[in-house]
Each structure stands twice: as C-alpha cells, then as structure tokens.
Structure 1
Amino acid sequence: MPEVSQGPLAAETFSDDERAAVYKAIHTRRDVRDQFLPQPIPGDVLMRLLDAAHHAPSVGFMQPWNFIVIREEARKAQIHRAFTRANEEAKLLFGDERQALYSSLKLEGILKAPLNLCITCDRTRGGKVVLGRTHNRQMDLYSTVCAVQNLWLAARAEGIGVGWVSIYHDQDVRGVLCVPDHVEIIAYLCIGYISELYDAPELEKRGWRNRLPLQELIFEEVWQQPAS
C-alpha cells in the first residue's frame, strides 16, 4: 500500500474564470428578505450547501456547528411570531425620524422562504481544552460564523438567496427548536431560490446606510495610523 503523505501538497491554482466566479459570489451576495420563490430546494442541492458550510475553517478543527433544517409551516409561524414581537420592540429603540423608515423595511423572509435553517455552535465540542481556543474562548463562535459565510456564498453560486434573521429573543427561538443550554444559536437563515436581487445591499438602496469607504478602514501597523 502506498504511503499517504502527511505533508502539504502543491497548491492548486485557479483559472481566471474560477477566480472571477469567487469574487462575483462575494460582491453579488445579498441579504434576501422578499424575493424568494416557492420552488423547493432539492435534497442534493441542500446537501451541497451544508457541505460547503461544513468545510469552513474551525479552530482546533473542532467543527462546533449543527444545522437545524426547518420546513414545517407551523414551526416557521412560531418563529415569525417571535420575530414580530421583537421587531416591535426594536422599532421603538430608534428615534422618531428613523421609525417610519424602519417600519417600511422588510427584515425577514421566514414564511415566504421554502426553507429555514438554524446554525448553532456546540461550545462543549472538543472537550474543555481545545487547541487554539485556550486563550480566546470566542473562537468557536467565530468558526461557526465562517460556516454561515461559506453556505451563503455557495448559495449565491447555486442561484439561491439567503436572509439572516437576527431580531428575536434567544429564549423564544431556543424553545421552538429545543436547543439545549450549552449550544449557542448563531444564525437563523431564510433560504430559497430567487429570480431577482438588488444590485447593492437593500439597506443602502432604501437609504438606511451607505457602504463605508474601504480606505478609511485600513490602518498601518497600529490602530488609527492611516495607511499610506
């Protein structure tokens, strides 16, 4: 039996088209709220998305994520009620001049998307001492966010839209999905095929906020030392 190499292999290069496709997915990814089609996502496509998420980087290779697939309309309706209650509370946190605009924004696609997905982080996976998390206990959470991003970009390449819902009380969603106490809810996602996308982030198009100039965000060597 030939020996299996335990060292690195030659790094595979990307063609110009392959490289362009990666950047296209990054720059055209959108947070989708209202453009979902009722078309179901085939099982093999869903598995490709989950496999992309499962190949995200994770500290200590602990792979702390789980994926709760939600298809039942009754369960989605429970989540939607949790969102609605929290959204009414959130609206009151903004000044009067922003409340009208806030109320006009559609901030979720829970009922419209054919599939909802909750991505969690099991903070006990890997044991009490995890390589790379010995001094930064948040690294498992950051790793799981990488899984979210992997899935999102893979979905864009598949013609599938993703919307991240973050306006809810944790205990409400935890109760609906029976998530145990030692597991953190990282992302509640609405997922479905789409026929159209905004050419820029919807919040930018609707006048909520503009993209910050990249050059103003880059420092050299230390905090607030502008890059030359």
Structure 2
Amino acid sequence: MNPNKFSTPEIEAIYDVMRARRDMRHFVPGELEDGQLERFIQAAHMGPSVGLMQPWRFIRISDTGLRRSIQEHVEQERIATADALGERSSEFMRIKVEGILSCAEVLVVGLIDQRERFVFGRRTMPEMDLASASCAIQNMWLAARAEGIGMGWVSLFDPARLREICQMPDGSQPIAILCLGQVKGFYPAPMLEIEAWDKRKALGEIYYENVWAAEKSLP
C-alpha cells in the first residue's frame, strides 16, 4: 500500500475535474462569489515554477472601458487570424473565440520583466518561464471547474499592443487573457471538437517509447 496516496474518491474527483475542464467562451450573467477569484489566483500561485522564479503576474481588469479596449483589440486580431487561415477563414469566423464582454471577470496574465536574471533551470531553455506560468493557469482552470465556474484562455492578441493597453512594464510579456464567469453548462467535449475544427488525438499518436516514432502523414 502506498501511504502517500489520496483516497479513491479524492483521486477520482481529480480525474473527473481534468476530464470536465473546458475552454469556455459562452457565459451567462452573474458575479463570482465573494473570495472566489482570490481562491483561483491562490490556486494559480501554488503552481510549480522553474527555479521558484514565480514569473506570473495577474492584472484584474475591472474598468469597463479598459475591458472594451481589450475586446476590440482581440476582435482585430481575430480578423487578422482569419485572413491568415486562407481557405478555412470563413469556418474560423463562425467560431466564438472569446467572452470578454460577457464574463464576470477578466484577467491579463503576464511574465515578469528582467527574466534574464533567473538562470536556474533556464540557461538552455529560457522558455521555461512560460511553461511555469502555463502550469499556474492550469491550476486556476481546474480550481474554477471544480467550483462550477467557466474559464476561457484567449490568445488572439499582439503582445506589444496588449502590454501598452494594460500599461505593463517594458520587458514584461502578456501571455493570456482569461475570462471567468457563470455558465449555463459546460461543453460536453472541447468546443473546437464540437465545431469540427479538429479532434483529440489517440494516445498512440502522442505516446512513444525510447524513440520518437515517425509521424503519420496528413491526409
């Protein structure tokens, strides 16, 4: 018996939350409970980070005008992305990609400036600060899902422009716009799978042993 294991119901609950997590775009009116946002940020702050550098910073967007400016910029980037997609442009434009104006809370997540000072674990892989911040965001996502709150990660933005909008310091890097709020229900599968944009790969396509297997050619 492994003395470090959680109980069977606790283990099942963790896997249930991971299976039920969704990147949400559709929100309904309603605020978060008192203290709920702080719990989610605390969950993120408990995430692992290389060299314990804790590179994440969270900006709560409570100003309506600022939220609208962010949404307008994302919309511009959505159109630019559609243009870059070529033949899938019209298909992409039918997909809802953000809920910035309809969700209860908007957070901008950024990496700290002067990250070059942190060498531990980053000497050959400086991108590990982004990996660390992504772990923090995943923590928040799972905590929100466990409490029945939807969360969506928006990445359609120009980092330099978003940095300017949010008055972030030079050298910092915005990596995510997070939308959190009440939802009518969670998608039964990833939204992009429902929209037939793509589908989750089978384990046999992403799991190798000893050597990287040859990728199957695309149809």
Query: Shared fold by TM > 0.5?
Result: yes
Q: Name the CA shift for 1:158/1:65 in 2 (closer, same or farther; >3 Å).
A: same
Q: Which residue of 2 aligns with 1:100?
A: 90
Distance 1:11-1:225 versus aligned 2 partners, 3 A rule: farther
TM-score in terms of structure 2 length: 0.91
Give how far 1:129 is off.
4.3
Deviations 1:161-212 (CA, angstroms, capped at 9, x unpaired): 1111111112221111111122111211111122201110111111111111
Number of residues of Structure 1 aligned to a counterpart in Structure 2: 214
TM-score (norm 1): 0.88
Distance 2:3 2:170 in 1: 41
Q: 1:143 and 2:135 equivalent?
A: no
Task: Give the aligned partner of residue 77 of structure 2.
Answer: 86
Shift of 1:43: 3.7
Shift of 1:225: 6.9
Offset of 1:219 from its aligned partner? 1.1
Please tell me whether residue 112 in structure 1 is matched to residue 102 in structure 2: yes
Give the aligned partner of residue 201 of structure 2: 212
Segment of structure 1 superposing worse, 40-49 or 154-163? 40-49
Question: What residue number does 2:210 align with?
Answer: 221
What is the match of residue 55 of structure 1?
Answer: 46
Structure with the greater alpha carbon radius of gyration: 1
Residues in 1 aligned to 2:182 and 2:15: alpha-carbon distance in whole angstroms: 20
Distance in 2 (CA, whole Å) between partners of 1:195 and 1:25 is: 17
C-alpha change, 1:94 and 1:129, in structure 2 (3 Å) is closer
Which residue type is aligned with residue 17 of structure 2?
A
Q: CA deviation at 1:134?
A: 2.5
Counterpart in the other structure of 1:180: 169
Q: Measure the CA separation in 2 of the matches of 1:177 and 1:89.
A: 21
Question: Are the aligned partners of 1:29 and 1:156 in contact in 2 as well (CA < 8 Å)?
Answer: yes
SS in 1 for 2:175: strand
Q: Is the 8 A contact 2:29 2:103 kept in 1?
A: yes
Indicate yes or no: 2:152 matched with 1:152.
Answer: no
Task: State the identity as a percent.
Answer: 38
Map of 1:66 onto structure 2:
57
Considering only aligned residues, what root-mean-square deviation do their CA atoms show, in Å? 1.8
Q: Which residue identity does 1:99 align to in structure 2?
A: S
Corresponding position of 2:67: 76
State the 4+ residue runs in structure 1 displaced beyond 6 angstroms: none
SS in 1 for 2:5: coil
